[in-house]
Amino acid sequence: MPVKKIKFPKIILAPLSDVSDLPFRMLNRSFGCKFAYCQMVSTRALINNKPKTEELLRGHFRDHPLGVQLLADDPEVLKKTLFILRSYKYETVDLNAGCPTPKVAKKGQGAGLLKDVERLKVLMDILVRFGDRPATIKIRTGWAEDNLVAVKIAKLAEEAGLSAVFIHGRTRQQGYGGEVDYKTIKEVKETINIPVIASGDIFSGRLAKKMFDETGCDGIMVARGSLGNPWIFKEIEYFLKKGKILQGPSVGELKKVMKKHLAMCCKFYGEKIGVLKFRKHFSWYAREIRYSRSVRNMGFSAKSVKELHQIINILK
Ligand SMILES: Cc1cc2nc3c(=O)[nH]c(=O)nc-3n(C[C@H](O)[C@H](O)[C@H](O)COP(=O)(O)O)c2cc1C
């Protein structure tokens, strides 16, 4: 079966569960993000018609190119999911083989798949044979340092006909801490001929360049670096082109963007839920600003747009 091709840009917004909703994606797109992922979707929840799961896939005609990411462990459930997804508008589908959360990994999903290569092979085969769009996989370097399986899985992904491999340069055991393993990402890149997109500590233009330089990867994924920081896309592009650091936003601009993001959340979810959803973004935006603990707590407990505007206004 010929590989379904997809051209990824060099910089991609990662799937971020509980974060990369439509307002977040659209905001980042308005700052130069050229490819974004929805929040991860559970295949079991989707086939069981859970309304909250459908909401994760709600898009916009401008929200493209868009990737969907699936959490799967059961081949039949995955087949049904791919059938349901035929009516959705998105460009590519990814299988999550990296989520470290115990309740996910223990069920054999996410990073749990790194320990069950036979199941992973079956799932990748289904993605290619029953999916109607290019399929990819997002892995970690391995379950633990003494069991690095990334190269082996990347080869299997290529053999299965997947269109790219995403790799977070940490083991499941590392979670989100510890050093990024650039060496293993490089080995993966040197082993397979499909695109390799690297993830891990892409917090600045300089770290983005380090990832390209040390691994030879085809692209990078921005994850935590985008939290409260949609400017990162321009910063990375600028650094890659000019080798210089782009000046960050002024406090005034930051406050303007916070209000814009809040308005987008409220438009999408309604004010009550929109305010709740925005509160975590508030702390990410505000982390670079001088502000007292009491202001931060006020942000966390705000219940209306009016209250949040008052708090944003006092940041300096
Ligand atoms: C809040 C949060 C949610 C995440 N959700 C997902 C997810 O749903 N799917 C996934 O493949 N990775 C997820 N990740 C992992 C990131 O996509 C990325 O691979 C990882 O954070 C490493 O990149 P970084 O060090 O630049 O943050 C998540 C990470 C964070 C911090």
| Atom 22 (ligand 1) nearest CA | 200
Residue 42 near ligand 1, beta carbon < 6 Å: no
User: What is the per-residue pLDDT across 43-60, written as a single tens digit (0 to 9) for each?
Assistant: 999 999 888 888 899 889
Domains (ranges, CATH) in the chain? 11-242 (3.20.20.70), 251-314 (1.10.1200)
Judge contact between 171 and 146, C-beta under 8 A: no
pLDDT at 293: 72
Q: β-pairing, 11-13 with 219-222?
A: parallel
pLDDT of 288 over the 80 cut? no
Q: Which atom of ligand 1 is nearest to the CA of 138?
A: 11
Residue located nearest, by CA, to atom 29 of ligand 1 = 16
Cα–ligand 1 centroid distance for 300 (angstroms): 23
**15 within ligand 1 shell (Cβ under 6 A):** yes
Measured CA angle at 121 (ends 137, 100), to 5 deg: 50
CB 14 less than 6 A from any atom of ligand 1: yes
End-to-end CA distance of the chain: 58
- pLDDT-based confidence at 274, cuts 50/70/90? very high
Q: For a ligand 1 pocket test, name from 140, 168, 202, 203 the mutation site with the most ligand atoms within 8 angstroms of its C-beta.
A: 168
Mean pLDDT of the chain: 95
pLDDT digits (tens, 9 = 90+) for 157-171: 999 999 999 999 999
User: Whole-angstrom Cα distance, residue 35 to residue 15?
Assistant: 11
- Please compute the mean of the pLDDT values over residues 66-72 and round it to a whole number: 98
Distance (Å) from CA 161 to ligand 1 centroid:
25
Do 253 and 28 form a contact (C-beta atoms < 8 A)?
Answer: no
How many angstroms separate the Cα of 293 from the Cα of each of 227, 259, 275, 285?
A: 20, 21, 20, 14
Lowest mean pLDDT among 18-27, 211-220, 291-300: 291-300
Which residues are catalytically annotated? 99
Predicted local distance difference test score (pLDDT) of residue 107: 93
Which pLDDT value is given to residue 294?
76
Provide the pLDDT for residue 291: 66
- Closest listed residue to residue 315, CA positions, set 292, 257, 247: 292
Q: Does residue 42 sit in helix, strand or coil?
A: strand
User: Which pLDDT value is given to residue 292?
Assistant: 66
